Structure 1
Amino acid sequence: MANAKTSGERAPAAIESLVKQLVVTYKAVKLYPPTSTIPRENAREVVSALRAQLRERSGVRIVVVKEGLFFESLPILPDQPAFAAFAHELYARKLSDIRFHSGVSETEVTAFLSVLLETPEEIEAAGGFEARLWERQVDGITIGSAATKFVDTNIPDAVEEEVVEDNVWPPDNARIESLLGGPYGIKPRDQRLLMRFVASPKLVNRYLQDVALARAASGPTAALAERVSMLARIANGELAEDRHALFRSIAEAVMGLDPETRHQLLVDRLLADARIDDTVAEVIRQLDLDEVCRALAEGLDPDPVSREGISRALRNLALISIAGKDDVSEAARSALADAGASESDITEILDQALPTHLQVIRKTEEQEREPIDGVLKLIDLAPSRDLMTDEGDSELKALREEALANVSDGEVIAALVTIATLERRPEVFSSILASVEGNLVMLIEWGEYEIAADAALALSTLSCDETLSEPLRARVSEVLMSLAEPDQIRIIARSMRVFAADSPEHATCRRLLGLLGGHTIDSLLEVLADEPDMAARKALVDLVTDLAPGHVQRLGEQVSDPRWYFVRNVVSILGSTRGSDTLPYLGRTLRHNDARVRRETIRALSNIRDRLADEMLTAALADEDAQNVQLAARYLGGVGARCAVKALLAVAQGEGRGNRDVGPRVEAIEALGRIGDAGAIPALRSLTGRRSILRSGRLREVRAAAESALDVLASSERGGA
């Protein structure tokens, strides 16, 4: 950065123009109240400038240092005090970089800049800048945080030499083993060393080859798989823009192993591990499909065990979504043919790996000898030969052969569900239902969402069929509930993020969730609580929000959960329904012991137009958290809640229970001005006349807000007259 700065180079004009508009918007957010349209209009200009940049790149990253802002190591508007001051504001709040992503909105820009209005201490107390962005539901802007550490510069000579020795480049195998095997993680310096090592495919390949040679006698597969997994997990902890290159480096190192070791590693461990370890799956996804299939085909032996291993590996390859089933099948067929496999062997391997039909295996068994009387009895019980044979009916014979040869696993389950809707004998019905229950969840794992949705519709209808006894209807509901388990819902939610919103697959998944109805809400909330990715969390919240109307009671039962972040998600979803039936549950969360849950409750109440909701917002003015009191006062002023005038006056005068800092008082005064109640004029006038030598700066804000509110009330009276 320093080189660019001294050489006279500067960031592109478009980036400097973007930052200029960002600073203008920041000043507007700072000067104007939240209800003003001026900050939003300026933010709209920022978004327009960002869209022009996001057409050429995936994101815009601005680096923050104490001296100023940088874009791709080039200084932005250097030696200009206004922009240096803005950079200092960011730096003081421990921001190291800001990333603007595709889809960022003007609301997110103003929300991001409004966080800058808070003091560094307030941001730190709230959990950090990133936590404040999450509370304001900002997804299009992410930040990196900086940390300051104090170290002793007087390092003894022996220690200094030891540090130099530890960082010999390239590191030897013993050094890498010690870094990977550390019981308490690794230091930042060692992390950088390890990431530099992982970024070199040649070094990683050399290391893996040495591990394979050291374990050659006992079999190297397990040791190699363990180290690939550890390297992948460490790479996954890096920045998103760096992960792809690191995963690619590990993948190239694996493919650089000798053919026999590589084949054994892929077949026996890596492709199987990829189904349960997303980081290993990311490594495999960096490889070309044809390349992987050729590596699998190279180790094909005539024995059945080898064919079975390759089939299992191909099945795992399709399950981690490296490509579609048809693409995997085509690539595998080509690779096996190039490796010299016969057509029959190829067909057998692919049928085992990616079955599309049930195979009916007919067995010829030697009949046990039975007494002649038993044989005669069987003959007497059998129907006539004319009814048993289809030799004279070619259409019936063709139908029977088609039924045996062209039925997929999903179609068999669908047929069982259809039979269950027709059967009424209790014993037979229970037996069929047990078969359905054991296989129904497999439809989700196979991605057969269309069949799963049809089955859910049939079972849902059957559970309401009055011709069934009550115990059997309850049993049907229990089977239907198996589709709504967290594991199944997690798969469906992941698929909905993969498929486009207007695709048939996305519509089918949504239909399935709609049929399951309220049964899915508990599972979706659990998946939401465990999801670490912010974008995925937002998608899940939207999904539950669509299902929330009509299931308020089921959602309300979750507000007693001990996890504050779980309850906050529930409150946000309850607020999205905008229904007064949520108020009993929001009344409980308004008294939650975590201020963030209470804050989300205040936001939810602002969406509900009901007198009780206004009274609950009025009660929130007694909150001990300053932000909560400000938020409640702002919403009460926005809706013109005259029932809150008395409580707002108490806040404005610094009286009563709850937080009475300057921020809440100013917000309450502005709310009184927006409500327009003439009864507040005497109290506001008394606030404009107060003088004090001590705390004069704080009282000045209160006086200014009171004068502004009186002007608003006066103009309202003139307008009314």
Structure 2
Amino acid sequence: MSSLSDNTIQDIESGVLSNFVHEFNVARRHVLSYPGNHPIIAASSEKVLTLLRELLGNNPEITIGIAKDTLIAGDSLLDKSNHAYRNLARLLFSHGIATITFSARLTAAELINFCKIISVKREAIDAKGGIAAIMKMAAITGITLTAIDYSAFLATESGLNNEQPEVLPDRIFESIWQEFVVSLLQGTLVKKSDLSNVHIGLTPAELAEMLNKKLNTAEDNKEKHVSNEQILAAFIQHLEQHPHDSHKEELLRRLNALVSHLSPDLRNQLLSSVFKSLAEKKELAEAFLSQIPEEAIIDTLDAMILKKESLPPMLFSLIGKLSSNLAVKASQMAFELGGSETEELKNKLRELFREESHDKFTPESYQAGLNSVLTDKKALHLGRAELETLKQSLNTHSIENQVSRILLDIINNGFDELGGEIMLKNLVDLSSYFLSCGDFAALMQMYDRLSSQADKENVERYHEILQLFNEPDFVLEVIQGITFWGKTKYQEIGNLIIKIGASFIGPILDRLAEEQNMSLRRYYMDILQRIGDRGREEIIARLRDNRWYFVRNLVLILRNFDANLVIPHIRRLTNHPHSKVKQEAIKALLFLQDSEADRLLLRDFASGDRETVINAVRLAEQSKHAEVIRCLTDFLTRGGLSGLECELKSAVIHSLSMIGSPTTIPVIESFLRSRSLFRSKQLNGLKIEAVRSLNRYPKHLAVPLLNDIIKSGHRTIRESARETIQGIQGGES
């Protein structure tokens, strides 16, 4: 693998690679979930390309290694706990990809086509010539792949840290497959020692063709069937004992490719043997069954039913998890092979579903109602509004909603291992559907019902599904829905985020820190406030952020929490280097009625910085402290009417009126009777402000003073006094 430049390594360390991989995963899901011309696909792919350009810098390309559960950059394994790395690594590894190279010339169309290709099962890709051939047909040149070479030496992950690598000769891996191939062709069990000079270079498809000709014949079929079962049992035993997961996966893939190319009868025969060999090997069975096409499993189960063969109990559950169709088939198999009680139940169900017997199980009153609807022509003449309502109830989305409710009702009434697992899997699929079409109310209902049931029954499977709502990809898509769906979905999305809570706190804080739109900032802050104490610790941890405007917004959120828990942290911000943060911190302390806030105001009143003094005066409107009020009145009565003094006195008049202390009335009266020989215009402007502010003081003190002003003083001041009295009296009525 080519080494990365220092710049690229720095980008990886700073999170650019993580963002790129994450957005790549999102784009891949969008390609699968939305129609090809949907704008979200174009937007998502462009975002990936933008991050790729940022990641590359001046480099023409970047090569990333693929391990089973994570990615390799340079000589380093990336964080295995990173959800985005793990998802991409597992997907590419399942396609047998050792490295992937992204080039600067990658286009959006190529990216979208590549996402489509890797979303197809490997078996289907191999059937069309392999992923390299398909990429060539799609003319993808901006992405280059290197396949895993299983015949080469394999270094363990510890070797990536300059330790001595573990070297595995190809015979350890290939001999298992060679032994299996020769055994199948000869119809007898062979040993490794018999293969010292044997190497049969057949692909699984070529081997299947030979077996179709050689073994799928009438002669000696029974004997061959027994041999196949023994051969498969030996192969799977070797497979289980093999120490390397990557080799196991490749051998299982070859076995699956072999099965998929067999004739139907031989495939059913071989799969039946595989089922029996995997009876006690859950991990291998799960890995193998997940690769087999649904139709092949159904055909094999049908063949086993005809032959009265039983399916190992452990496989019932595994097969049922794969799809609803297979769950039904597995249940049918158990049903068909059941005892006398099952036979009795089967007869009842056959009777129930006989077309001509429906009335036997319909209540008489309900049947009468149905008959009256059919005979009453008037009842069938519905208005346009009723017809539209009925039509809406039959659209796909409405049906999916109803299916979700039905599944939730069934699950909440009892959970059995097979049926419950299937229904929960269907709910997972529905959650993806609701997310893609923006039905956050349906997601909210699903989460609500599952969480209440999990609390009640403490069934581990409920908790596993609920964890899906906390996955980073789910969280990201919900948050992206805020801007994608717009204000019409704000309430639904907000309710869902608040319900789930913890997993959304960090991402919402990240958005708040970077959001340019004021309306969205307020929306994020409202969500964080409504999440409440669950987010308090993470918000407090962000107070050390170097973006002053972000910290100021965090203070606004914290003031709504328990005062005793947040006051110590807000106090520390009163010495923040940015004045607006410091101002917001003091304001929050005043709001929380912390005595320290009054001390800080008095400190700032004495400051030599005019801006600091004026800010403190403006904040003082929330104080009731006697010393604070005294300082404000001193500011009002002292001499000076320069521009700065007028600004200060205007702020004092406003803050005193917001406090509304009766002790201030004599000071206001004295100020209204004051005179200025050279700055009468400025003084009259302040007097008008003082007159208008009297409407916030106790009426019995303010009205007599206003009446006195109406009888004397400047004309404009008298008019202001008259309007203020009218306002007070109007407010009473």
TM-score bucket (shorter structure): 0.3 to 0.5
Q: Mark the structure with the bigger radius of gyration.
A: 2
TM-score w.r.t. the length of structure 1 is 0.36
Point out the structure with the larger helix share: 2
